[in-house]
Structure 1
Amino acid sequence: MGLAWQQGPLATRSVGQFLVAQPLPDRLLFAEPLRRRMRVQFGGQWVADSEDVVLLHEPDRYPVAFFPLADVRAGVLVPETRTTTHRDLGATAWFDVHGGDTQARRAAWQYTDLPAHAAVLRDRVAFAWRSMDAFYEEDERIVGHAADLYHRIDIRRTSRHLHVRDGDQLVAETRQPIALYESGFAPRWYVAREDVVSSALTRVEGQTFCPYKGLASYYDIGERKRAAWSYLEAWPEVAAVSGWVSFEPDLVDVYLDDRKLTLEPGQTVVPHGIDRGLDPDELRQRSATAAHPGNS
C-alpha cells in the first residue's frame, strides 16, 4: 500500500525490482517534504501545527509524519528517561505528551543521534498516531496513518465474466464487475448486490477500516468465515464500489473469464508499528471530532 508497505518498491516483499547493476541495501528509507499543512489535536488543543512536515517511509511500515520542534506547542513534550535505538537511525528519545489536563505516556519520539545522511529528520518529532486525539490536513481529519503520497486507487468497469461458487452453490455471477486496482495489492473484483445471491451471505460482527476506502463489513458464505466483504458507505473517492461485494479467492471459488483466481502473495493486510493500529472506532469518531478544538 504505497511506497514502503505491502508490495511497494521499498517494502521487503516488493512485487517489482530495481534494474541496477549492484544489489541495493536490504532496507531503504525514504524521507520527503509532505507539502501539506498538518496539525495534531490532543487534550482539546492543537499541540503541533506545521507546513514543514517531513514524511518518513520505512520498509514495511506506514508513513510517519515528523514535525519541526519549533512547530510544537511549548510545554507539550515532557522527556522520558528511557531511550531506545532504531536499527537505521540511531538513538531515540521518547516523550510524554501533555495537552490541557490530559497526558499520554511515551506518545512522541525524536531521533537524537542521526547519521549525516538522515539529517533531514534532525530536530523533528513524531507523534504516536493512536495516542493523539486526531490528525488533520488543513481542516480535514486524517485517520489511520499519515497519507501515503504514493498510494493510489483506480476503479475500472469491465464486461468480463465473473462468477463465484461455494462448492456447487452459485453465489454471484455478472458480466459487469468492477475492478479495483490499489497500490501494493493485486486487483480486487467487486460485484453489484443484484448479481449476488443474497441468501448466500450471512453478515457477521466485526468491521475493519481502510484509510483510503472506509469501513468494511464482512460476510460468511456457508462454512466459509468472512469470505466476502463490502464497503457499505465507501468514501467519496471510491464511491463506485459502495455497497458492492468482493470475495476472498482462497475461501470461495472465484472465476474470471473461466480462470480460477487465487490469493496472491502479500495480499493479506497486517498492521505494523507502535502508531499504526487501524482501529474502526477511529473512523466512526471522524465526523464527531470538531475541526476546530476550543483551545486553538
Structure 2
Amino acid sequence: MAVDMGSLFMRSLGELRVQPTRKRVRAKIDGETIVDSSRAVLVWEPKRVVPAYAVPVEDVVGGTRPTSDPSEWDGRDYSRIPVWDPRVPFAVRTTAGRPVAVGPDERPVAGFIAEDADLGGYVVLDFDGFDTWLEEDEEIISHPHDPFSRIDIRDSSARYQLALDGEPVVDTTRARILFETGLPPRHYVPRGDVLVDLAPSSATSTCAYKGVATYHSPIIDGHPVEGLVWSYESPLSDGEGVRGRLCFFDERMDVTIDGVALPRPKTYWS
C-alpha cells in the first residue's frame, strides 16, 4: 500500500526527531561568535513543526552552565494546542532534560540538555536568544531551515477573486501562487489588481524562507481591516518571485477561483 508522505510526517509529530546537517553553523551575540560547529543537528521536539539547532557542548564558547531557563515564557498553557509553531516559547518543553545557559553572563541564552541517547553531549539552543545565525557565510532568520520543507512559486492565469463582507477586494488573472510545504497555497497579486485602498500597518513578521513581511490594512466600508494583507518588499532568495506583490489571508475572506467558490482554509490564522 502506498504511503502518503504528508501523513507520514504528521504521524511522527509526537516524537523527538533529529537530522544531522553538513552545514557549518555559527551564532553570535554582540558580534562575538558563541557557537561554531560543523557537527550541528536539527532537532524537532514533539509537537513542534520547525526545528532548533543542537550542537556539541564543546562547540560552544564557555560551554554550558546550570540555570533556570532564561528564555521568556508568557505562562500560557500550550498543552491543548496540537501543533506548535515558532510562537510557542522555547522554554515550553516536551522533552525530558535539564535547562542550561550559554553565552556571556550579561546576555545568557537558553539551552537544554535532552535526556536522549541520540543527543548525548549536545545542547539544544534557543534560536531567538542570539543576535545573528549563520549557515556557512549566509545569515538566516526566524528559525533554521527545514530540509523537508520547500517553496515553489508558479504563475497562474486562473481568475482569482476575493471578497470581504460582500465587497470585492481582489480580481486578477495574474497571480503568482506560492506553494509552501504544510501550508495552503498563497496567491500573491499585483497591486493594480487590488480593488480597495490600503492603509499602512506597523505590524511585521518574519519567515525563514521569504524574509521580513510588512502588513497593510484594506479599507472596507471606510474602516481599515488589520492584519489581512502582507508583502515582501526585500525578500530573501526563496521569495524573490513575489517581491512587492500583495497576499491576503484566504482564511478570513470569500475566495473564488474561475467562478468556483472555495471553502476557507483552516490554519493558525483562521
Q: Could you tell me how far 1:25 is from its partner in structure 2? A: 7.3
Q: Could you tell me how far 1:213 is from its partner in structure 2? A: 1.0
1:190-232 per-residue CA deviation (whole Å, 9 max, x = no partner) reads: 11112223x4322222111211112222222314332222222
Deviates more, 1:222-231 or 1:141-150: 222-231
SS at 1:120's partner residue?
helix
Letter in 1 for 2:190: A
SS at 1:27's partner residue?
coil
Q: Could you tell me how far 1:154 is from its partner in structure 2? A: 0.4
User: Residue 59 of structure 2: which of 50, 61, 71 is its match?
Assistant: 71
Q: For 2:241 and 2:143, how far apart are their aligned partners in 1?
A: 24
Q: What's 1:253 paired with?
A: 254
Q: Closer, same or farther in 2 for the Cα pair 1:167/1:64, shift >3 Å?
A: closer
Q: What's 1:231 paired with?
A: 232
Q: For 1:192 and 1:59, how far apart are their aligned partners in 2?
A: 39
Q: Closer, same or farther in 2 for the Cα pair 1:260/1:59, shift >3 Å?
A: farther
Q: What's 2:244 paired with?
A: 243
Q: What's 2:23 paired with?
A: 36
Q: Could you tell me how far 1:94 is from its partner in structure 2? A: 2.2
Q: What's 1:217 paired with?
A: 214
Residue 39 of structure 2 corresponds to residue 52 of structure 1: yes
Residue 129 of structure 2 corresponds to residue 131 of structure 1: yes
Q: For 1:183 and 1:202, how far apart are their aligned partners in 2?
A: 30
Q: Could you tell me how far 1:26 is from its partner in structure 2? A: 7.2
Letter in 1 for 2:215: Y
Letter in 1 for 2:67: E
1:20-59 per-residue CA deviation (whole Å, 9 max, x = no partner) reads: xxxx677222211111100121244212211111111234
Q: For 1:17 and 1:96, how far apart are their aligned partners in 2?
A: 36
- How many residue pairs get aligned? The number is 240
Q: What's 1:103 paired with?
A: 107
Aligned residues of 2:17 and 2:46 also touching (Cα < 8 A): no
TM-score by length of 2: 0.78
Aligned residues of 1:249 and 1:262 also touching (Cα < 8 A): no
Q: For 1:153 and 1:85, how far apart are their aligned partners in 2?
A: 29
Aligned residues of 1:248 and 1:263 also touching (Cα < 8 A): no
Q: What's 2:88 paired with?
A: none
Q: What's 1:287 paired with?
A: none
Aligned residues of 1:43 and 1:98 also touching (Cα < 8 A): no
Q: For 2:162 and 2:136, how far apart are their aligned partners in 1?
A: 43
For structure 2, the residue ranges without an aligned partner over 5 or more in a row are: 70-90
SS at 1:148's partner residue?
coil
Report % sequence identity: 29
Aligned residues of 1:78 and 1:98 also touching (Cα < 8 A): no
Q: Closer, same or farther in 2 for the Cα pair 1:66/1:255, shift >3 Å?
A: same
Q: For 1:81 and 1:226, how far apart are their aligned partners in 2?
A: 36
Q: Closer, same or farther in 2 for the Cα pair 1:164/1:80, shift >3 Å?
A: closer
Correspondence 1:177-188 to 2 at 5 A: 177-188=175-186
Report the aligned-residue RMSD. Answer: 2.8
Q: Closer, same or farther in 2 for the Cα pair 1:81/1:230, shift >3 Å?
A: closer
Q: Closer, same or farther in 2 for the Cα pair 1:180/1:132, shift >3 Å?
A: same
Aligned residues of 2:13 and 2:46 also touching (Cα < 8 A): no
Q: Could you tell me how far 1:167 is from its partner in structure 2? A: 4.3
Q: For 2:178 and 2:258, how far apart are their aligned partners in 1?
A: 17
SS at 1:226's partner residue?
coil
1:65-106 per-residue CA deviation (whole Å, 9 max, x = no partner) reads: 110122222x34222378x9965x43x22223233x74316x
1:235-281 per-residue CA deviation (whole Å, 9 max, x = no partner) reads: 23221111111222343332111122333223539xxxxxxxxxxxx
